[in-house]
Amino acid sequence: MQDIDYDKAEYVTNRELPNDDGEKTGRVKMFSYDNETYHYQIKCPYCGHQFENSEKLGSRPWWIECPECGRSSNVKRIKDAAKKDIKNRAPEPDDL
Ligand SMILES: [Zn+2]
């Protein structure tokens, strides 16, 4: 995955992804410079497969399918996470 230029990035996230049991066995790193094309690197929480891609993502929610096991993970936007954190008063330290 290419290095992220944080000065130019409009959107960056780096968070854990839970599996069916709620265990955080996966991870997604995602960023965009224009809020249109998103670059992401994902470790699938269901099978552990790691993959990366760049694609134009439309409206939410975003579901990104693992090419290995075919399961999809929901990638939340950072804005949603921030709102949730305020509500629950439980910030996620790995959110950039
Ligand atoms: Zn998978």
- Residue 77: pLDDT band (50, 70, 90) is low
pLDDT for 31 beyond 80: yes
pTM of the model: 0.73
Among positive and negative, which fits the CA dihedral 19, 95, 59, 70?
A: negative
Ligand 1 centroid – CA 8 distance (Å): 31
Closest by CA position to 96, among listed 84, 86, 81, 83:
81
What is the CA 16 to chain-centroid distance, rounded?
A: 8
Mean pLDDT value across residues 65-94:
69
pLDDT computed for residue 6 by the predictor: 87
Ligand 1 centroid – CA 87 distance (Å): 31
pLDDT computed for residue 75 by the predictor: 83
Mean pLDDT value across residues 4-19:
90
Ligand 1 centroid – CA 55 distance (Å): 18
Ligand 1 centroid – CA 76 distance (Å): 18
